[in-house]
Structure 1
């Protein structure tokens, strides 16, 4: 069996050289036992290790952990957890989803993930983000008034560090560097690094100009509303005379044997999670009917049976010129059994079916 590339209908010429890749993202959602009793934070972290090991076994390409600092998402040190997964796996790539660079130090982020890169035999990557969840800012003493300048300066510094060589840099968000080596050096080229973008065109421009692949976080509404962002990214890369880079999607979802089973396992827990976020985020909690619309063909949630989810992925990836799909799986209070079943179905049923569907669309034989 050959792995189809993105060549053909729906994709731009720029995307044709990139392989299709399928990942799983987690925020370390605090689990529950079969009676609905919350697990400890320690058990939740141990369960994430098992999830990563299973993802490797069922053929998922990438397993990523997003930084969070809350009771529902006790995952402040994802790189440490990824190190434990690296020790028990051989193939799967391991990354962040995302690292909140604005409230971290670019030097230390690079050092942590270049160390993971070494330990895993070159399988580490990092996704840098501004932080749609901002709990890390007061925790580490940063002012949200500096939200934009923090990320802009630190992303530019990280780009320099990733390119290698002694670093000379001066800004307003950390101490200056003069002819400074940042170790450990990576083997076989720069540390793979993406920029995660929610809905900000300036972030798209920054990713394009700093030579970072683009990962779009599509968590609500019609995914195709992000098409102008992918077009902007491709256009800027062409305008500045730089080679095109991959575009990916990060989006929530859940897989079970049937559509209704997946909905019942996932949506009530997502609704409750959003209800708890209302005081800090200020949004309205969607109704069950609104969630059903999001699960439908024009919504952002990939919830259903393997066939349903696969068809939705195969329909949207080419339209957004994206060759990576990262499913943000699990929800707080979900038992490990349901999570592991979803991971197995994703790797053994959904991913092969998406490859098959896109191969059919492109007229490529498997």
Structure 2
């Protein structure tokens, strides 16, 4: 097998204290910095922070938190998961991440996407009726900016640019991905603009995404662009035993799914749904051995370049820290051994 990378992602979900109360946002953010420092110390390759603008998530400015992490780490790569490009300005996105790249000595990555929620659209004055054109135009502009050459661009969602340079430049360019939930159109768009494909697999068996990976490779060939890396992002938590991991995650998973169901019209989850997602779906919950076997199977089946575990289940912070330690020290070496053999 090729050299696969292993990362951790978090949306900055608000954790609980020992009494079951929500931890205040400032403490959650400080805890996230500690999480990333721990991840770097146990050999994790990448740490990604999501952008949200709602009370159940603490991070609205990933680059600020990532800069704090950069000051306390030396090797781990740092990026968004995702930057909500549709409601941001591509010029400012480039500038902020180029600055992070300088601060971190070349470790910054952009993962651009539409985001899991829509709160940022009214917050920043964007019309949801422009959902498609906003992302299409802004992704096109971001791709041009990442060349670090003078950009001439015209669209309908922001002022045009004429032979415009944007600063700071980076030392060696910057890796950039597009977060995709699984639509063929999004996969083809990602290929057309030369971004890496960052697949969010949050439900069902991972093998059903094989067709999207094949489409991505074929689209790159048709557009005659160099093949870019492919990453997978899925939720989970590692504990000492399968039973401990399931007990830690169960209540929070049901609470989160019920909340999302109320917002999006999903049916209420059942106990079978929880077990099914762990046993054969996209929930990587269990002992180091259980999670390692499942990750190895996903990586081998899909042939991806990186696997990211979204570890921020709604539990206490010490459970996150335990999960990060086990992931870096036990799960990742096991997966590497499994793939090598």
Q: TM-score range, shorter-chain basis?
A: over 0.9
Give the structure 1 partner of residue 285 of structure 2: 303
Give the structure 2 partner of residue 283 of structure 1: 266
Maintained 8 Å contact 1:306/1:350: yes
Maintained 8 Å contact 1:266/1:330: no
Q: Is 1:126 matched up with 2:110? A: yes
Maintained 8 Å contact 2:236/2:313: no
The structure 1 residue matched to 2:48, chosen from 56, 64, 67, is 64
Give the structure 2 partner of residue 327 of structure 1: 309
The structure 2 residue matched to 1:253, chosen from 229, 236, 259, is 236
Give the structure 2 partner of residue 46 of structure 1: 30
Q: How far has the Cα of 1:331 moved from its partner?
A: 2.2
Q: How far has the Cα of 1:258 moved from its partner?
A: 0.6
**SS of equivalent to 1:307:** helix
**SS of equivalent to 2:232:** strand
Q: Deviations over 1:30-82 (max 9, x none)?
A: 11212212111110111000001000000000001010111111210111000
Of residues 54-63 and 67-76 in structure 1, the stretch that sits farther from structure 2 once superposed is: 67-76
The separation in 1 between residues aligned to 2:202 and 2:268, in whole angstroms, is 14
Give the structure 1 partner of residue 192 of structure 2: 209
Q: Deviations over 1:296-335 (max 9, x none)?
A: 1x21110100000000011111211212000001223x11
**SS of equivalent to 1:87:** helix
The separation in 1 between residues aligned to 2:207 and 2:253, in whole angstroms, is 22
Which structure 2 residues correspond to residues 135-154 of structure 1 after superposition, within 5 A?
A: 135-154=119-138
Which structure 2 residues correspond to residues 228-239 of structure 1 after superposition, within 5 A?
A: 228-239=211-222
Q: Deviations over 1:94-134 (max 9, x none)?
A: 00000010011000111111100000000000101012311
Maintained 8 Å contact 1:30/1:331: no
Q: How far has the Cα of 1:289 moved from its partner?
A: 1.5
Maintained 8 Å contact 1:95/1:127: yes
Q: Is 1:166 matched up with 2:166? A: no
Give the structure 1 partner of residue 9 of structure 2: 25
Which structure 2 residues correspond to residues 63-102 of structure 1 after superposition, within 5 A?
A: 63-102=47-86
Give the structure 2 partner of residue 294 of structure 1: 277
Structure 1 residue runs without a partner (length 5+)? 7-18, 361-366
Q: How far has the Cα of 1:278 moved from its partner?
A: 2.9
Maintained 8 Å contact 2:237/2:313: no
Give the structure 1 partner of residue 21 of structure 2: 37
Q: How far has the Cα of 1:225 moved from its partner?
A: 1.1
**SS of equivalent to 2:258:** helix
In the comparison of the two structures, how many residue pairs are matched?
341
The separation in 2 between residues aligned to 1:34 and 1:116, in whole angstroms, is 35
Q: How far has the Cα of 1:164 moved from its partner?
A: 1.2
Structure 1 moving runs of 4+ over 4 Å: none
Q: Is 1:117 matched up with 2:117? A: no
* TM-score (ref. length: structure 1): 0.91
Give the structure 2 partner of residue 10 of structure 1: none
The separation in 2 between residues aligned to 1:308 and 1:128, in whole angstroms, is 31
The structure 1 residue matched to 2:336, chosen from 336, 345, 355, is 355
The separation in 1 between residues aligned to 2:91 and 2:246, in whole angstroms, is 42
Of residues 177-186 and 278-287 in structure 1, the stretch that sits farther from structure 2 once superposed is: 278-287
